[in-house]
């Protein structure tokens, strides 16, 4: 970051377009500590932040209707089938885990009485057991009591291969036993340093045994409750129109005192990120807008409408390009991008290296994401202890050309490089939103200069992130050469996040394309290090393993990290919310309220 960039950020803070917290976090991403950032603010004459209102809700309900806008509307309401954050967020209106992550990466109890710890023995000293004690008196929306039987059932449900849940990786290697009606113990086969996975946050929602017991395995998609949820959450199900509307009414029997604040909630879907930002910041039609994938310049202009402000949260979100390791154009046994194939041209390391050099990350950050994203060479960049210090990114068209020349990829009459009858022509897909289409254009222009032809494909977001197994255009099927989207960690630890590159996590027809490894890249070295990291209790050694995994991905050009994506939401001026970069936007929904 140069002096002009720093001055620009300070000007945004002075003008009220960026919070002090956002400024400190932005500088932390380039290596400046919080005290240094605060000193810069003081030297620049930026006033201290005004104290927030001390108002807190003193009763349940009374807040009227909460209108929230998810421009990619949820398409299902079963959290264990949710392939994207939109479905996870929609499910969290109704379902809850035992614990959630707050914005600082701390565990907070939800359906659990307390967080397990070594002091009281609920966390085994050998790293092989976790004992959860459930809150007493919690009821499902139909009046049935929540018990340990529901927790055990959730484990059985999620781990069953025939059920084909997206969360199976969190449950398949543990055993869950009931101690009494309000206590379960999670037994781990080996010492496990990061135990807060099963029953925690996005992957941890508890399912009602009495409603799902008949729909395990092959019948899992037939459960009526997949579309009409019955949970323990702050709102009860009222209506659902996939991709369009999720509606709920207050749960008057909710287990948290004086919560929730609102009498009803409507989660509207559809449209695009810009129109969603406008509906909150400029017109005030909605109270909250999810995932503002909008150029920073536009957000700044819309904030002048005076109806709302932007809230930025820092987690592990990364906008990245994936390179297909399999052949998306050859069908084997009714399946494209089959593990029985290899990509005809991207299997050449020289091609992958050249593509990495053709990404102008600095331009993408400066001209598209601004304060909402920072260029990075790392797939894992946060928390800082897991970020590699050796990786570098470079934009160099000349070097890319030299690499391709040396590898024997010669330009044809049409300017496109080829070798052995195979051309460097790729289909590059992503979802439809303005920043992504602009990023595609930047990448395409650079690739043209190196003799690589990109066909740009834009897919409606609700289709691209769909869980419909019959849909050929989902990112999970990856029926093209390159694809781009944002993904992130659901917890402040990269072990679970990095499972998406394990060989046995490959997305295939056999697992209904629910496997997390959409690149289909397979590496024994990666698998072995990841497995070792799962049982390494020394935090320093384990962090080194996680860093090595990131470096294998980056240096083998399995993915090309673009920008560290900060969580960006549009929030009405009077709405008080706490957003965590480590959990769903709706993970703390019960505590949202509107200031009087």
Domains of the chain, by residue range, sit at: 1-51, 57-94+233-314+566-596, 103-223, 318-565
pLDDT above 80: residue 187: yes
Element (H, E) at 458: strand 453-459
Residue 542 pLDDT class (50, 70, 90 cuts)? very high
CA angle 262, 267, 270 (to 5 degrees): 160
Location of structure tokens 């439809």: 432
Which helix H or strand E contains 567, and what residues bound it?
strand 567-572
The domain 57-94+233-314+566-596 having CATH identifier 3.30.360.10: the answer here is: no
Distance CA 410, CA 18 (A): 49
Spatial contact of 503 and 522, defined as CB atoms under 8 Å apart? yes
Residue 251 three-state SS? coil
| pLDDT score, position 46 | 40
SS3 163: coil
* Of the candidates 84, 206, 168, the residue with the CA atom closest to the CA atom of residue 467: 84
Which residues of 144-182 form beta strands (DSSP E)? 174-180
Q: What is the C-alpha to C-alpha distance for residues 103 and 181, in angstroms, rounded to an integer? A: 31
**Lowest mean per-residue pLDDT among 117-126, 230-239, 337-346:** 117-126
Q: Which residues are CB-contacts of 488 (< 8 A; sequence separation ≥ 6)?
A: 315, 316, 317, 318, 497, 565, 581
Could you tell me whether strands 593-594 and 575-576 are parallel, antiparallel, or unpaired per DSSP bridges? Answer: antiparallel
Q: Which of 572, 113, 552, 594 is nearest to 306 (CA)?
A: 572
* d(C-alpha 511, C-alpha 114), whole Å: 35
Is CATH 3.10.105.10 correct for 318-565?
A: yes
Query: Could you write out the DSSP letters of every residue in 358-427?
Result: T--HHHHIIIIIGGGEEE-S-S---SGGGS-SS------HHHHHHHHHHTT-EE-TTS-EEETTEE-EEE
pLDDT at 43 over 60: no
What is the spatial distance between Cα 367 and Cα 129, in angstroms, rounded to a whole number? 49
Helix 539-555 and helix 524-533, axial crossing angle in degrees, nearest 10? 160
Q: What is the pLDDT of residue 35?
A: 42
Paired residues of 267 in beta bridges: 68, 246
pTM: 0.69
Burial group, residue 137, by CB count within 10 angstroms (0-12, 13-18, 19+): exposed
**Distances 296 to 69, 154, 217, 561 between C-alpha atoms, Å:** 19, 41, 45, 20
pLDDT value of position 217: 92
How many whole angstroms separate alpha carbon 589 and alpha carbon 262? 10
pLDDT of residue 26: 64
In three-state secondary structure terms, 118 is: coil
Stretch among 44-48, 284-288, 363-367, 386-390 having the lowest mean pLDDT: 44-48
Task: Give the Cα separation of 471 and 352 in Å (integer).
Answer: 28
- Amino acid 490: pLDDT: 74
Q: Which residue has the tokens 């698998």?
A: 527
pLDDT in tens, 440-449: 999 999 999 9
The DSSP letter of residue 517 is B
The average confidence (pLDDT) of the chain is 91
CATH superfamily of 103-223: Dipeptide-binding Protein; Domain 1 (3.90.76.10)
Distance from C-alpha of 558 to C-alpha of 138, rounded to nearest angstrom: 45
Return d(Cα 490, Cα 573) in angstroms, integer: 27
């Amino acid at each position: 970051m140069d002096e002009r960039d720093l001055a620009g950020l300070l000007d945004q803070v002075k003008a009220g377009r960026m919070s002090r917290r956002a400024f400190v976090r932005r500088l932390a991403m380039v290596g400046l500590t919080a005290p240094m950032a605060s000193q810069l603010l003081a030297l620049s004459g930026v006033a201290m932040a005004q104290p927030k209102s001390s108002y807190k809700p003193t009763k349940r309900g009374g807040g009227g209707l909460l209108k929230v806008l998810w421009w990619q509307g949820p398409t299902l309401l079963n959290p264990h089938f949710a392939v994207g954050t939109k479905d996870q967020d929609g499910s969290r209106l109704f379902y809850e885990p035992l614990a959630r992550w707050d914005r600082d990466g701390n565990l907070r109890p939800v359906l659990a009485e307390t967080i397990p710890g070594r002091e009281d023995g609920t966390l085994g000293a050998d790293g092989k057991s976790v004992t959860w004690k459930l809150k007493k008196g919690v009821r499902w929306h139909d009046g049935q009591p929540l018990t340990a039987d529901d927790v055990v059932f959730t484990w059985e449900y999620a781990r069953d291969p025939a059920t084909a849940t997206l969360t199976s990786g969190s449950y398949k290697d543990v055993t869950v036993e009931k101690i009494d009606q309000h206590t379960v113990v999670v037994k781990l086969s080996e010492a496990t340093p990061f135990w807060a996975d099963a029953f925690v946050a996005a992957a941890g929602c508890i399912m009602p045994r009495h409603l799902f017991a008949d729909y395990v395995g092959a019948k899992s998609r037939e459960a009526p409750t997949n579309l009409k949820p019955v949970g323990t959450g702050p709102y009860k199900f009222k209506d659902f129109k996939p991709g369009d509307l999720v509606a709920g009414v207050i749960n008057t029997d909710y287990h948290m005192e004086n919560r929730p604040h609102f009498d009803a909630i409507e989660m509207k879907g559809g449209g695009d990120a810009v129109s969603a930002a406008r509906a909150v910041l400029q017109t005030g039609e909605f109270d909250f807008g999810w995932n503002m994938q909008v150029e920073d310049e536009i957000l700044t202009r819309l904030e002048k409408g005076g109806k709302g402000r932007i809230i930025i949260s820092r987690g592990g979100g990364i906008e990245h390009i994936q390179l297909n390791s399999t052949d998306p154009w050859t069908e084997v046994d009714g399946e494209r991008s089959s593990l029985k194939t290899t990509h005809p041209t991207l299997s050449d390391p020289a091609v992958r290296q050249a593509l990495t050099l053709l990404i102008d990350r600095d331009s993408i950050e400066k001209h598209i994401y601004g304060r909402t994203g920072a260029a990075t060479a790392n797939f894992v960049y946060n928390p800082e202890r897991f970020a590699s210090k050796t990786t570098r990114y470079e934009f160099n068209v000349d070097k890319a050309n030299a690499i391709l020349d040396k590898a024997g990829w010669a330009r044809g009459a049409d300017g496109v490089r080829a070798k052995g009858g195979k051309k460097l022509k790729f289909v590059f897909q992503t979802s439809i939103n303005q920043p992504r289409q602009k990023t595609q254009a930047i990448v395409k222009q650079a690739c043209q200069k190196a003799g690589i032809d990109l066909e740009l494909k834009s897919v409606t977001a609700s289709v691209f992130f769909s869980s419909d197994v019959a849909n050929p255009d989902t990112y999970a099927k990856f029926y093209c050469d390159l694809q781009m989207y944002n993904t992130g960690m659901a917890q402040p630890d990269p072990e679970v996040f990095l499972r998406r590159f394990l060989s046995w996590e490959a997305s295939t027809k056999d697992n209904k394309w629910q496997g997390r490894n959409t690149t289909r890249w397979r590496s024994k070295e990666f698998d072995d290090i990841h497995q070792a990291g799962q049982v390494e209790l020394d935090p320093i050694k384990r962090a080194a393993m996680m860093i090595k995994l990131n470096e294998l991905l980056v240096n083998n050009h399995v993915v090309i990290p673009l920008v560290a994506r900060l969580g960006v939401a549009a929030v009405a001026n009077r709405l008080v919310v706490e957003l965590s970069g480590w959990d769903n936007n709706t993970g703390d929904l019960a505590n949202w309220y509107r200031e009087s």
